[in-house]
Amino acid sequence: MEELKLKCVKGFINRTQLPMRELAARIKILEEKIRSCYVEPIKYKINYFLKMILVDSSFIIEFLLRWHKLEDWLEKDPSYLNQGCKWILGMT
Amino acid sequence: MDIGHDLMLLENQLPFFVLEQLYSLTGMDDKFLAITFNYFEIKSLRNMCPRESPKHFTDLLRSFIISPSKLGLEKMELDKQVKHVYSASQLMEAGLEFKDSNDSLIDLAYSKRGIYWHMNIAYFLHTSLHNM
C-alpha cells in the first residue's frame, strides 16, 4: 500500500509539472474551507494537516486516473491490477 | 488489500472539492466526477453518475444507492418522517415470500407471489452500508 501510494503521489506531481511548494500553496488557499468541513477541531498542527491532505489527495487522484486508463497502466506496471483492485470485486 | 473499501470509510474522507481543485491542475479533459464514478460504479445496482459533486466518497455511495430508486429520495425534505414498517422477519412469519429482483437497492415491489427485493447485497451491506 505504502509503495503504491508513493508511486501514485510521484505520478501526480509529474503530471501537474508543478513544484511541491506550489501544490502546497494551492491547498493553503483552501485552508478555511477545509477546516469548516470537520466538526471537531483539527488536532494536528495546521501545516502538517494540510500536508497530509495534499499527499492523500494526490494519491487518490492518481490512483483513480490510472484506473480510468487501466489498459495503458497495465502495460507500464502489470502489478497495478492486484495492488489497486476495484472495490467490491464481483459486485459490478 | 482493498483500497476502494478504505476510500469509502467515513473516517478516511477528504472533502471532494479539494480533490477537484487539485485534479484541475493535471489539465485533463475528463471531469473528475466521471473518473470517480468509473471506479466506484456498481453496475448491478444500475448506478447513475450524479449531476452534482458529492461532499465526499461516502456521500457519493449514498447518492449511487438512491439514484435508481423510484421513490424520489434525492428531493425528499429533510424533516420528513420515515414511517416504520414491519421487519423482514415479521413479514416472513406472516407468510410472505421474498424474491430477488434487479431493481434499486431500496425499492421493494409487492405482488401476490411475494416481495421483490434486490437481495444480492450481503457482502455489500455489511461493509459499506454500515459505514454510511
3-state secondary structure A62-85: HHHHHHHCHHHHHHHCCCHHHHCC
Output phi, psi for B14, to 5 deg.
Answer: -115, 145
Q: Render the burial of B19-37: b for 16+ CB within 10 Å, e for the rest.
A: bbbbbebbeeeeebbebbb
- For strands B114-117 and B98-100, give the pairing: parallel
Q: Which residue has the higher pLDDT, A14 or B108?
A: A14
Give the number of domains in chain B. Answer: 1
Q: Which three cell numbers stand for residue B30?
A: 475528463
Cα–Cα distance measured from residue B74 to residue B53, given in angstroms and rounded to the nearest whole number: 14
Our measurement of the distance from residue B122's CA atom to the centroid of its chain's CA atoms, rounded to an integer in Å, reads 14
Structural domain includes residue B76: no
CB atoms within 10 A of CB A17: 10
Structural domain includes residue B52: yes
- Amino acid identity of residue B11, one-letter, is E
Chain B partners within 8 Å of A65 (Cβ): 26, 28, 35
- Confidence (pLDDT) at A23: 95
Distance from CA of B93 to the nearest CA of A (A): 30
Tell if the CB–CB gap between A92 and B44 is shorter than 8 Å: yes
**What is the domain range of residue B112?**
3-71+82-129
Structural domain includes residue B67: yes
pLDDT-derived band at A42, boundaries 50, 70, 90: confident
Structural domain includes residue B77: no
Q: How far is CA A25 from CA A19, A21, A42, A53, in A?
A: 10, 6, 19, 12
- Confidence (pLDDT) at A90: 41
- Report yes or no: B54 and B16 within 8 Å, Cβ to Cβ: yes
Residue among B34, B22, B105, B25 at smallest CA distance from B70 = B105
Structural domain includes residue B50: yes
- Residue B128 DSSP one-character state: I
Distance from CA of A32 to the nearest CA of B (A): 12
Mean pLDDT in order along chain B per 10 residues (132 residues): 75 92 95 90 74 89 75 64 77 80 69 67 59 66
Tell if the CB–CB gap between A67 and B41 is shorter than 8 Å: no
- Confidence (pLDDT) at B109: 73
Cα–Cα distance measured from residue A67 to residue A59, given in angstroms and rounded to the nearest whole number: 12
- Report yes or no: B65 and B105 within 8 Å, Cβ to Cβ: yes
- Residue B100 DSSP one-character state: E
Tell if the CB–CB gap between A54 and B22 is shorter than 8 Å: yes
What is the tens place of the pLDDT at every residue in A49-85? 999 999 999 999 999 998 888 778 778 777 766 665 5
Torsion of CA B75, B77, B81, B86, to 10 degrees: 10
Residue that the C-alpha cell 488489500 belongs to: B1
Q: Where do the domains of chain A lie?
A: 2-83
pLDDT-derived band at A89, boundaries 50, 70, 90: very low
